[in-house]
Amino acid sequence: MLPAPERLVGVGFRCWLQGFQTSDIGCWEVAWQEFSRAVGPRAAKPLMTELACWVRAVQDSAERRIEVYPAQCRRFCRDECLAISMVAACQHSTCPAFRACAVALLGSDEVEEAIEGAESFARCLKDAGQILSPGTVFMGAGLVTPASRRLC
């Protein structure tokens, strides 16, 4: 099981992307409940804004379909793990790592918009006291090739 900040990022990414893909607002409500429970409603509002901007940038920049597990799933798939690692790398300023995670996640070298979104979201998480572990940066290292299907 991942630490709370990593789980929060993974669930947020999953639910927000599912909301975009299905147009089901219920997915976004699940994310809101998770974030407001973790940091309180006041701190959750800016986090939701930054999460939405980041996930939209990922979706718009991706040259492949981003995969996510169903909302109730306790584990995370490859793409979700790459997204979590990308945010952790942004929080810990490990440029080669967040760029590698972004390229692997998006299937494209055009990652600037997604990285900017991840950086803003990572800062907002840090401001809310949600610090991802530096070790989480390396979780994505073994997942940068599409053949890797391990779960975190």
pLDDT digits (tens, 9 = 90+) for 54-110: 999 999 999 999 999 998 899 999 999 999 999 999 999 887 778 888 999 999 999
- pTM for this model (two decimals): 0.90
Total number of domains constituting the chain: 1
> Who has greater pLDDT, 144 or 9?
9
152 in any annotated domain = no
How confident is the model at residue 150, as a pLDDT?
46
Looking at 1-15, 113-127, 134-148, which range is the least confident one?
134-148
How confident is the model at residue 148, as a pLDDT?
44
Q: Is the pLDDT of residue 8 over 70?
A: yes
Calculate the CA 89 to chain-centre distance: 11
Q: At residue 6, what are phi and psi to the nearest 5 degrees?
A: -65, -45
70 in any annotated domain = yes
Calculate the CA 28 to chain-centre distance: 14
- Residue 127 near residue 83, CB atoms below 8 Å: no
> Who has greater pLDDT, 2 or 74?
74
Give the domain range for residue 54: 4-143
CA distance 66 to 106: 7
109 in any annotated domain = yes
User: pLDDT grade, residue 140 (50/70/90)?
Assistant: low
Calculate the CA 129 to chain-centre distance: 17
How confident is the model at residue 27, as a pLDDT?
94
Overall average pLDDT of the 48-52 stretch:
98
Exposure string of 95-125, with b = 16+ CB inside 10 Å and e = fewer, is eebbbbbbbbbbeeeebebbbebbbbbbebb
151 in any annotated domain = no
CA distance 129 to 140: 22
